[in-house]
Structure formats: structure tokens, C-alpha cells
Chain A
Amino acid sequence: MTAPFPTRKQEEWRYADLDALRPVWQQFAEPLTLTVGPGESFEKIWLPGDEDVLVRRVQIALEGGAKAQIFVLNAASEYGRTELDVSLAEGADFELFGANIGTGVSTNEIVTNVRHVGEGGRSRQTIRSVLNGKATGSYLGKVEVARGAQKTDAEQSVKAMLLDRGATANCKPELEIFADDVKCAHGASVGELDAMQLFYAESRGLDPASARALLLEGFVMGLWDSAKDADAIGEAAREALRKVVG
């Protein structure tokens, strides 16, 4: 049976491009599921494709002491969505490093539900968005800490850079905590390029377009530092940034 088509009344679809989703919904209605066994490690790098609409819906179960690292670059020309539902058993560790790089009228979003079920789990979500034109980039990130998940350590860091007045960033970190001995931090900021950084770079000889490109590269590229092989995603991010900086 196919899941019903989402509506904007559902929080996790609030900023989605449902018109772009409709024709492809059938193939994404059921999320992929994967399990990382006790003590095992999993790393995944998701690159943007050639498709105008690229949707990923994945459920990950991290068993005791399992570790997962996900690196994702959302840069679809029309609609890109990366949706993750992650459950962490005791001592599991989850890290997400994601970027939305959008141009034109595109919508790119990262939607997560990270559920700390067991004790002593750790999660880190770091999201950076760079948007120009009338592009929209969103992060909706929910962290749930179950009653028994004491000593949970969760962090969300979300920053967006808007290059044009018409661009939109939505940042919504959300916490739902039912344990009393946990550490959950979140921070969000939306801004423009720093004028003093731009002047410093230009005074050293970079023309304005190159200075902007370099500063934006710095803003995004730090995301891939801990990937085993960041060449492909780094190159894809550079290419996406080139389109955004124009």
C-alpha cells in the first residue's frame, strides 16, 4: 500500500515543493531502511545528481555502540530533499554534515528526526546553506530523547548565507526531551557575507567575485573535513557554489 501524498499541514513537509514531488512520489513513498549492527561503523556520502528533483528518504537504526556518519550535498535545480529518521540505541553515535546550495527558484531541504532511544548516545548535526536568487534552503531537525536515554549528548548547528534579498532560509531545530540528565545544544544563524572579510580578501588582490567565492567555499567546505574521501563531494560543492556565485 502506498503512503498518502503529504500535505503542507504536516510540519516535516511545510516548506517542501509538493508540485515537484507529486510526479515522483510513488518511488519515494516508502523510506529506505538500513540497520547498523552493534559496534559497527557506517559512512555514506550523498552527492547531488543530474535530476531536477532528487529525494532521499532513509531510516537508519543504530544498534548499541554503532556509529554512522552521513555527508550530504543538496543542490537540486528544482527540488532536493534529504530526509533522515535515525534511532540511536545505547552508546550509538550519529553525525550528519549537510549543505543546501540553491540557486534560481529551487527548494532544497534537510529534514531529520534523530531519536535517542538508549543511554549515552551522541548526535551531531551540522548544516550550512548558501542561497541566491529566490532559492529556498531549509533544515527541520527534531531531536527526541526518550525517557530512558540519560547521558544523551546532542548538538545541532545550522547556519545559512543569503546572497540575494529574494532567497529564503528556514532553520528549525526542535528538541523533545523526556530524560533529565542530557546535554542538548542548538544554534542557528542566518546572515550575509562579512563586509570586513570581503574587504580583507579584496585588499589582498582578490576581485569581488573571487573573494565571495572563496569566503563561501570556506563556509561550506569545513563540513567534509572528517570524510574519508572528500574529493567528490568537495568538487561537487565547489561546482554548486560556482553556480550560486555566478
Chain B
Amino acid sequence: MLTIKNLHATVADKPILNGVSLDVPAGEVHAIMGPNGSGKSTLAYVLAGRPGYASEGGATFDGRDLLAMEPHERAAAGLFLGFQYPVEIPGVSMLQFVREALNTQRRARGEAELSGAEFIKLAREQAKLLGMDAEMLKRPVNVGFSGGEKKRAEMVQMGIMQPKFAVLDETDSGLDIDALKSVGAGINRIMRSPDKGVLLITHYQRLLDYVEPDKVHVLNAGRIVRSGGPELAKELEREGYAEAAA
């Protein structure tokens, strides 16, 4: 589903990714763990197409050349990036933002747009499933949301958009235990499916207690230095990156 081959990326001439190769087949959840500065967020941004990164190497998504696509084309193709720091947009309500984004995606895919009423029903359902007050959807995008509320709101957006593949960048950071449980359940509900895939970027084992990965990869200095099953995450938690990834 998502295949990354020898991916290099630099920011302002500084190399961050130094040859990442990875294959996430449909139906699987892969976790990427690694210390600060190992390139985890850069990998997420490069996959989603953030400007400012010079990349080399390959990444294909459902057989299409991902790196040749614009960010909005990647979204329409079914890729979703859950931001580590969701962005605030004053003056634009969450409802308007997500509805316009979803309908632009649907137009690009040749699907019918959702009416206002259909969209509000869908948005309310998803907010409820994630334990978010539906009134928050009327507020400007992420403005005045706490760190945890922003992460929940990202998952609500993911539930509304029903992507094929999600790259979730530290979706667990800033969450208390209850929020972690409901976000974990949300990821399973929305993305655990034979035709979907997830790349879960995290520092810690704790989210993986709720979303069990099929594979765990350790990223260090811009390379994948170890891969294994779910037990690898527990080993990392016990022994630290320095030991386990050495």
C-alpha cells in the first residue's frame, strides 16, 4: 500500500533522512519509534508533501508516485497526516474547514459532494465517537483548543474523511489517560481494516497498548536501524533507544 524506498530528505541543506526503506501493506499498522531528532516528523512531512524539504528516492502509494503529487492530491488519493502540532486557523470554523476540504477531495475523486445537512450529521457522529463536544466544531479551527482537544479534533477529522492511509505524527503526545484510550479506540475503529494502513509515529509504548502494531521500526539518525514485531516496542520501553537500537 505504502512503499518507501531509499528515501533521503534535507532541510536547508541539512540531511535528515538518510535512506529510509519501508513497506506497509494494506491491513497493517506499523509503528515508527525513535529518539528526538531521529527524523520521525520529517518522514511524516515528506510523505504529506510539506514544502521546504528536498527529497530523493521513492515513495509509492497504491502504486502511484507519491512524491510527484501535490499535498491536496495526496489527500484526495486517501492519505491523511495527523499533525503533531495541529495548526490554528482563526476566522474559519472547524465545520466549514473540514466540509470544504472533504468536498474538494470528493470532487477530485469524482464523488458527489455532501450537502450541509449530510455533513453536519457525519461530523456530529464522529465528534461523539471521539468524545468531543460537537459545539467545538463551530469554533475556529483549533483556536483555543487544549493540546488534547487538538489531537482529538485531528481524529474527528480523520473519522470524517475516512482516508485509506494515515500517517499519525505523535498523536499520543499531550493526551491524558482517558483521551489516550479514546484516541486509540478511534484509530482502531477508523483505520483497522483490510484495505487500510497506518504509520504510527510515537516516542512511547503507551499508545501501542491500545493500537497494537503489526510491526515496529526504530528510526535513528534518519535510517531504520531495527524492525520487529510488537515486542520490540516493549523492549525499547524497557531498555531505551541507546541499548535497543545499538
Contacts and interface: CB of A to CB of B under 8 A. Distances in A.
A205 B161 contact: yes
Interface stretch (B21-29, B47-55, B222-230): B47-55
A215 B89 contact: yes
B7 interface: no
Contacts of A202: 49, 70-72, 75
B144 interface: no
A197 B91 CA distance: 12
B87 interface: yes
Nearest to B77: A205
Contacts of B76: 205
A3 interface: no
A202 to B, nearest CB: 4
B104 interface: yes
Given A200-B87, A202-B71, A205-B72, A218 B140 contact: yes
Nearest to A225: B91
A203 B81 contact: yes
A219 B98 CA distance: 17
A71 to B, nearest CB: 16
Interface string B78-112: 00010100111111100011101110110010000
B157 interface: yes
A205 B101 contact: yes
Given A197-B89, A215-B92, A204 B97 contact: yes
A101 B112 CA distance: 33
Interface stretch (A38-46, A90-98, A141-149, A206-214): A206-214
A177 interface: no
Contacts of B92: 214-215, 217-218
Interface in B211-232: none
A203 to B, nearest CB: 5
Interface string A154-170: 00000000000000000
- A interface SS class: helix
Contacts of A1: none
Interface residues of A, number: 23
B190 to A, nearest CB: 15
Nearest to A198: B51
Contacts of A208: 70, 72
Given A199-B51, A199-B71, A200-B83, A206 B90 contact: no
Nearest to A222: B91
A242 to B, nearest CB: 14
Contact of B161 (A201, A204, A214, A218): A204
Contact of A205 (B51, B89, B91, B108): B108
A207 to B, nearest CB: 5
Given A217-B92, A218-B91, A204 B101 contact: yes
B69 to A, nearest CB: 11
A207 B105 CA distance: 9
Interface in A56-98: none
A206 B108 CA distance: 10
Nearest to A196: B87
Contacts of A219: 90-91
B75 A204 contact: yes
Contact of B104 (A203, A206, A218, A220): A206
A214 B92 CA distance: 7
Contact of A203 (B49, B90, B91, B97): B49
B113 to A, nearest CB: 12
Contacts of A195: 51-52
Nearest to B76: A205
A203 B74 CA distance: 7
A196 B51 CA distance: 9
A199 B50 contact: yes
Contacts of A210: 100, 104
Closest 10 CB pairs of A and B: A218-B91, A218-B92, A205-B75, A205-B105, A200-B87, A204-B101, A202-B71, A205-B101, A222-B91, A202-B72
5 contacts: A202-B71, A204-B101, A206-B100, A215-B89, A221-B91
Interface of A: 195-197, 199-208, 210-211, 214-215, 217-222
Given A202-B72, A204-B101, 6 more contacts: A196-B87, A202-B71, A205-B76, A206-B100, A206-B101, A214-B100
